[in-house]
Structure 1
Amino acid sequence: MLRAPFTTPHRHRLGSASFTLALVLTGLLLSGCGMTDDDNTKPPTAGAGTSDDAGTKIPDAGTASTDDAAAKVKSVSSQIYDFLGVPGSASEPGPGVRACEGRDPDTYFQVYHPWNFKPASGADVDVAMKNLKGKLSTGGWVIKRSYQDNSANKNLNIIADNDAAKASVWIVAYSKRTTPSIGIEVTSGCYRAPEGETVRHS
């Protein structure tokens, strides 16, 4: 997800249709359904755990090394970057790895990649969000939720899943900040490390 929208230290985590439900629902439940602080609001932690009440859990993403899983998530982030369709710059922090809730942390893990996009022109935030809405309804992507959060600026949020890629993305438009930007966090499903390998948490 950088700090403008959401700078997070590298941790471990990731999440498909029940994928979205798991990532989104648990994220929403943990964060209180929309952000309550103002512009410093950080997107909910998608896929942070399981919700028995909702009957959801983080979907399995298969077997992969942490490096391979991180590369897949970075590829999804690159696709989201292309979807923005406006000139600008992205923050540098790479993916992090965290444990899957309720599973052996030495064997199972998720990958998450929080980053920030600053358009060359602040007015392009709205253009980029419009582009994202169009692109996240194609190529295996499905928008699960689009809404304005509870912050003072009523930031536009988009949550979308790609079951084939075993990835979910949470996007927040900070169009009313002094320096407008877009916060993005890509999260994977729950990977299993190859036999004989131990998960390297970041």
Structure 2
Amino acid sequence: MTDNNSDEIPFAGTSNSRDASDAMEKVSSGIYDLIGVKGKASDNRPGVSDCSDKDAKTHFRIFHPWSFYPASASDLDVAMERLKRELPKHGWEIVTYGPDTSKNKNINLVADNDNEKSSVKITQMSKNDPPKLSLMVVSGCYKVPDGEEVERF
């Protein structure tokens, strides 16, 4: 999804907004399962956004921001290392990994999954109170079935 040769967003298929949202929650749930440490996830719902170069009435993307709070702050490093190790075993290709340019030097991991037509950006925010992983899962570009329009939420 973040091909070095192209900024083009992949086509994710034909779907209505609700079904695509459900599919994105399943992708997020799969990532949650890979974290492998005790903790709690935020209860954020997916939303709908535009595909930059497509008709906003017929094309859309799903985004799902959520956070993971480990039961113990020391488990944050464990969770991030586990994701770095486990995501590729489940169809994800790690595109970038390393500290960002913020003063906190948060660790960022960006991974794409061609089968799921989705991408995830995970930021390890160790200095937050409480410490957390911040995740943003985004889909490729969907087209609604003929005769329907994108439902926004």
TM-score normalised to structure 1 length: 0.73
Aligned pairs for 1:115-134 (under 5 A) are 115-134=66-85
Give matches, 1:39-118, under 5 Å.
Answer: 55-118=6-69
1:19-55 CA-partner distances (Å, limit 9, x unpaired):
123xxx7xxxxxxxxxxxxxxxxxxxxxxxxxxxx64
**What is the CA deviation profile of residues 92-131 of structure 1, one whole-angstrom value per residue up to 9, with x for unaligned ones?**
1100001110211110000000001111101110000011
- Whether the 8 Å CA contact 2:16–2:151 is kept in 1: the answer is no
1:134-153 CA-partner distances (Å, limit 9, x unpaired): 11111211111101001111
SS at match of 1:110: strand
Asked whether 1:158 is paired with 2:109, we answer: yes
Amino acid at match of 2:84: K
Query: Which residue is equivalent to 2:137?
Result: 186
SS at match of 2:98: strand
In angstroms, what is the RMSD of aligned CA positions? 1.1
Deviations 1:138-176 (A, max 9, x none): 121111110100111100000001100001000000112
Q: Distance in 2 between matches of 1:20 and 1:102?
A: 16
Q: Hey, what's the Cα distance between the residues in 2 that align with 1:55 and 1:80? A: 26
Post-superposition shift, 1:188? 0.2
> Residue 2 of structure 2 aligns with which residue?
20
Asked whether the equivalents of residues 112 and 120 of structure 2 are also in contact (C-alpha less than 8 Å), the reply is yes
Name the amino acid aligned to 2:2. Answer: T
Corresponding letter in the other structure for 1:166: K
Query: What is the distance in 2 between the residues matched to 1:55 and 1:142?
Result: 16
Contact 2:124 2:133 survives alignment (8 Å): yes
Decide which of 117, 123, 131 is 1:172's aligned counterpart: 123
Unaligned runs of 5+ in 2: none
**CA distance in structure 2 between the aligned counterparts of 1:77 and 1:107, rounded to whole angstroms:** 24
Does the residue aligned with 2:2 lie in a helix, a strand or coil? helix
For 2:115, give the aligned amino acid.
A
SS at 1:136 equivalent: helix
How do 1:134-153 residues align onto structure 2 when only pairs under 5 Å count? 134-153=85-104
Segments ≥4 residues shifted beyond 2 Å: none
